[in-house]
Structure 1
Amino acid sequence: MPRTPLPDDLPPAFPVALARSAGVGEGRLRGSDLRRPFHGVRSRAALDVEDGASAAELRRAQLIRSAQEYSQRMSPFEFFSHSTAAMIWDAALPLVDADLLHVSVLGPRRLPRARGVRGHQARPHLTRVVLHAETGLRLTSPATTWAALGAQLRHPYDLVAAGDSFVRVQRMPGPWHREMPPPLAHVRDLEAAIAAGRRVGARALREALPRVRLGAASRPESWTRLTLCDAGLPEPVLDHDVYDDDGRFIGCVDLAYPELKIAIEYEGDHHRTDPAAWNRDMEKHDALQAAGWRVIRVSRTVLFARPHELVERVREALRARG
């Protein structure tokens, strides 16, 4: 027997009370096609991901769907925060629990409580709440979100990487110019968030801020830079455009020592699973080598499990070319 269609004006996730007021019966609300993510909420929301989406993109889509479902029962005083807000902002993060929603409320109101939700009580002078344009969700601003991560991220490189992603200036590589969206935050915004008052993780934030840079496009790129710097090597340039001797654009490399023609490229999973990306990178690397560049390719295993190998390869290249 076919299911009774739900009213067209019901959103993908909706409060049970709203459905009842629209004439939806109890039996239909128990239908197997509806998710019951939270008490008093039903959802028919599908994941909004493109074919071939990465594992990280899938996890972010799952978290956003969960947040939109929970938003159907949020009070006007609640908002998403900590790593949940960071994932909605698409910040660079390590693997965090995407099944747990971090929800805050300004004190002295009571903490949010629900299965799969961790409640936080925020202080007004340390907190700025905004509306996320892409999802319509209430969450902490990029700078406030980064400041909250000081108490949540354990490795100092991850706090820097998150800061890198918030202040990153997007651009079109090469000689072409296209208007791009502004960065989510400026370094001065991160500074202001630290200066707003005492908070958990303040020392880690103060240590991370001077290491934040504008050009890192991913967490591994930030980790690569920091790994090399902490090994005593010169700080590489990020997001560097390379041209040949005739002025033709060859490509943009993740990190570089331009004067020595040394490029460092991180090979993420998409390089392995996307044939088009793999072919583009092969052509770029061939062109770089033809132009006299030395290309050092870095895998996830080397960067996170055997960083000394990365350091030695870069040190040897610097010594050979210096």
Structure 2
Amino acid sequence: MKRRKKKARVIYNPTSGQEIIKKNIADILDILEGFGYETSAFQTTPEKDSAKNEARRAGQAGFELIVAAGGDGTINEVVNGIAPLKHRPRLAIIPTGTTNDFARALKVPRGNPLEAAHLIGKHQTIHMDIGKAYEDSYFINIAAAGSLTELTYSVPSQLKTTFGYLAYLAKGVELLPRVSNVPVKIRHDHGEFEGDVSMIFVALTNSVGGFEQLAPDAKLDDGMFTLILVKTANMIEIVHLIRLMIQGGKHIDDRRIEYIKTNELTITPLSDQRMMINLDGEYGGDAPIHLENLKNHIEFFANTDEIADEAISLDEAELKALAEKFANEVEDLEQYEEASDEA
């Protein structure tokens, strides 16, 4: 009896990465078919929530795998589409965006869509934490607030596409003189912080804005955010903190930083000044806001051979279960190939 092929849906942004995905979509479909998936594709449109709505539809239709091909924004939309579902498909990513923070964290090849697609054939996955904000918004990398986070709203899309992360850096330098402190109250697992901050970062991974040391000890699957509060608006001090960060994450011990691990938190402004919340690089609403870490919520394909052991919190029993799961999947694939040869 011939086994039913698993179904995969590729959701791709045709304009991401100078349209590189459009040139490779046929080969990507062939690669997935070779891995035993009945594969189809959906090209996103400028319509609001295009990728999100298609991801939800595919998840509800029983697709076992969704491949998000595009930048961090496309991946965020796909996650928002399936995160509320009771039964969620696996996710794989093909990064073609500007900074590709999530791909950096998962060690997915960047700039080479076919190599990223081949990673799925390694059968290596992580049950990733994701963040929940408000009632129906989710994020996969970072929630942030403060003066410097405004740069993601003010860099024109065309400039991002043409110059990539250099555009963010240039805009960040321009904004540095305008950094200011704002009074906030932040409740977290270990108590409460009340005081003035210039920036707030709530990180799920160690890769933010192209830097991989903002939260150097972040784990991808432990159910904890890394909450970072910058308690200075002095430009010279901020530049010094950035230098410490680049030098191996030394900023976390500085007196001008609060560095906290927490499963959930609430951010409340203590002034009339508007505090916009940035979710994965885009405007996600205004504070006050409650953020919750959903532990192991979505299974992502990743290059676990390249991810540092410290970034994954698996015990011996979990490692054994993963090994057994991998062996079963390889057996399923071999049986499928045998059935195909006989047919």
TM over 0.5: no
| TM-score normalised according to structure 2 size | 0.24
State the TM-score, normalizing by the size of structure 1: 0.25
Task: Identify the structure with the greater strand proportion.
Answer: 2
The structure showing larger relative contact order (alpha-carbon pairs under 8 Å, at least 6 residues apart) is 2
Larger radius of gyration: 1
Structure number with higher helix proportion = 1
